[in-house]
Every structure is written in structure tokens, then in C-alpha cells.
Amino acid sequence: HDEMARRRAEVIRELARRHSKGENGHAALEEALGRVGSLAVRTEKVVHKDAKIRTFIQEDSSREHLTVHAYDVHYGTVRAGQDVLVALDDSIVRGNTLKNAILRTLDNLGPKRIIIASSAPQIRFPDVYGIDMAKMGDLAAFKAAVALLHET
């Protein structure tokens, strides 16, 4: 088990490295899923996003409604109470979509545990990549850094 865990961590680190260099996140994610699958770990796509819908660009008032319609769920893939569900996210910005839609959806599938891994480079300042965020406190990376400070 230790060797398998080490290899999985290696694959995830490689995905993060490639994404931070600006390589195609979707292609890197697909490749990483294939590599993880070769490590005798059952892999399934449980939630699939419609690539044409960009929820982070929407106004706050319409984002939540749009988010509900942006994802397809593949029911029957998670064994309730048995499977540990690892979700890879390559585009966490505010974390609202993850918190308000994806986690709720994943939790409804009944996994034993949910682990979220983000391969995106941290966005630490507002108005990066044309994303209008007026407050530093809206950024997921900032919230995570503050939470870590409180833990220590």
C-alpha cells in the first residue's frame, strides 16, 4: 500500500507541475487519470462538466443557478459507504462552485470519504486572468492560508 500511495502522490505532483507551467489542464488531467488507473486503483469519472459553461465568469446572482446545470453525475459508480472518492479540480478560484455544488453532489453519492486535490496554481490576488474579484477574502487560496495559520 505504501508504494501505491507514493506512486499516486507522484502522479498528482506531476499533474500540478504541468498545470502550473501552463500546459493544457484537461489533457494533463486525462493523462494523470490514465496513469493512476494503471496503479490498480479503480478510477471512474463521477462528475463531468460541460466544458462550454464557464461558471466563474457569471455574475454572483446567476452563478449558483448556472452551476446546477453545468455538471452531469454518473450515478452507480460510487459504492456507498465503501469508496473513498478523490476529486481532482484544475480550476479552483473562489471555491464557491466546489463548496455550493460539487461537494453536495459528491456527498449525495454516499462515499466513505471525499478528498479534493487541486492541481491549479494558487490565485492569490484579485483580477487575475480577467476574473473580477473585489476582495482578497473571496479567494480559495487565501482562505486556505488563513485556515492553516489558525491551525498552528
Burial (0-12, 13-18, 19+ Cβ within 10 Å), 66: middle
* Residues 25, 100 within the same domain: no
Mean pLDDT for 53-69 is: 56
**Tens of pLDDT, residues 104-146:** 888 999 999 988 877 665 566 666 556 555 566 777 767 777 8
Q: Please check the confidence at residue 67 and state whether its pLDDT lies above 60.
A: no
The grid coordinates of residue 125 equal 490576488
Instruction: Give the model's pLDDT for residue 25.
Output: 59
- N residues, the chain: 152
Instruction: Give the model's pLDDT for residue 110.
Output: 93
Strands 71-73 and 47-49 turn out to be antiparallel
| DSSP H helix total and E strand total for the chain | 6, 4
Range(s) of the domain holding residue 80: 44-151
* Residues 20, 91 within the same domain: no
Instruction: Give the model's pLDDT for residue 112.
Output: 92
Is-contact 8 88, C-beta < 8 A? Answer: no
Mean of all residue pLDDT scores within the chain: 71
Number of domains in the chain: 2
